[in-house]
Amino acid sequence: MAGLSPDAVRAGIENRAFVILGRAGMDLFAHPPGTSSEEAEEFHSGLGGSSANIAAGLCKLGAKAALVTSVSDDAVGRFCLNQLKRYGVETRYVSAVRGEFRTSLAIYESRNEGFQNVIYRNGAADFQMTEADIAALDLTPFGAMVATGTCLAAEPSRAATFAGFARAAAEGLPVIFDIDYRPYSWPSPEVAAEVLSRAGAASDVIIGNDEEFDFMAGAPGQGLAKARALAAEGAAIVVYKMGAGGAITFAEGAEIRTGIFPVEALKPVGAGDSFMAGLLASLGEGRDLRDAILRGSACAAIVVSKPGCAPAMPDSDQLAAFLADHPGPTEV
């Protein structure tokens, strides 16, 4: 396991500057809310991609974030660059690649019943992140490195991500890992299980849902035990998310159980990215772990109640207003 102490992990996060590995993409969502994609006459656009969403969410909450990825050298890639800059994300480590590689495109709907999400990732440009991109990083300004499992699904991005983990460890930065298992991106479940488990073992903070931990454990129903074991083996924080059931967080020998903030959900996507941004931004402000988890849960609730992913993520004032108006999280 990664070897940083809980105090060192907390100190890195409290730097409030994050270097984030992974994809940026373009989202198109049918308008008005409730419209199916095939019946839509209008689509709204927004920044998407798990890592880009996390970066945008952190910046909206007052932290600093730089994204390390590749986008296609075309209009869609430039759209993503412009969107990242709009949110205040540092883009000096975003490279443009030519040829047949393309920036990911997601087409989805603002509805829950009959929800459809069509993702175009053939020849995905973000998988072209290389070890040279990692070697070019100046990690001096950053306190922590964040990566999602999507980075690990193909080469050369997989080797680059592990090179990033190694550089972070060598320079004393905590590694924060969102399992983010997307089966369609992987060559096989067996490869995914091995690679994601290796990534977990190299991480100081691990976040995933119950299904993702089940997958890492190799059997249904074993995810909670896997999460508990990862914490026992040295991860400073392990967050086991259970959807409507809330979350169990393992840290320093304790198990923290937290609920969710019920809302009228408009769509089922974007919650995990917003949770990560809210959790890290709150820890960066020096808040205790339980409060930070609940604030992450509030960010997740806000995002699923609005159209879009990055556009729906709250800023600090919006989060404060939500917490002031909401009756509070469910009891667990």
pLDDT digits (tens, 9 = 90+) for 1-55: 567 999 999 999 999 999 999 999 999 999 999 999 999 999 999 999 999 999 9
pLDDT tens digit at each of 332 positions of the chain: 567 999 999 999 999 999 999 999 999 999 999 999 999 999 999 999 999 999 999 999 999 999 999 999 999 999 999 999 999 999 999 999 999 999 999 999 999 999 999 999 999 999 999 999 999 999 999 999 999 999 999 999 999 999 999 999 999 999 999 999 999 899 999 999 999 999 999 999 999 999 999 999 988 999 999 999 999 999 999 999 999 999 999 999 999 999 999 999 999 999 999 999 999 999 999 999 999 999 999 999 999 999 999 999 999 999 999 999 999 999 98
pLDDT for 113 equals: 95
Q: Do 56 and 10 meet the contact criterion of CB atoms below 8 Å apart?
A: no
pLDDT for 3 equals: 76
pLDDT for 2 equals: 66
> What does the DSSP 8-state code read for residue 246?
-
> What does the DSSP 8-state code read for residue 32?
S
Distance between CA atoms of residues 12 and 175, nearest Å = 10
Strand, helix or coil for residue 265: coil
**Helix, strand, coil content of the chain in percent (nearest 5):** 45, 20, 35
Percent over 90 (pLDDT), the chain: 97
Q: Do 60 and 315 meet the contact criterion of CB atoms below 8 Å apart?
A: yes
> 264 Cβ partners below 8 Å, 6+ apart?
305
DSSP assignment of 289-300 equals HHHHHHHHHHHH
Strand, helix or coil for residue 28: strand
Domains of the chain: 6-25+46-96+129-325 (3.40.1190.20)
Both structure tokens of 17: 């500057």
pLDDT digits (tens, 9 = 90+) for 283-322: 999 999 999 999 999 999 999 999 999 999 999 999 999 9
Torsion of CA 69, 302, 275, 311, to 10 degrees: 10
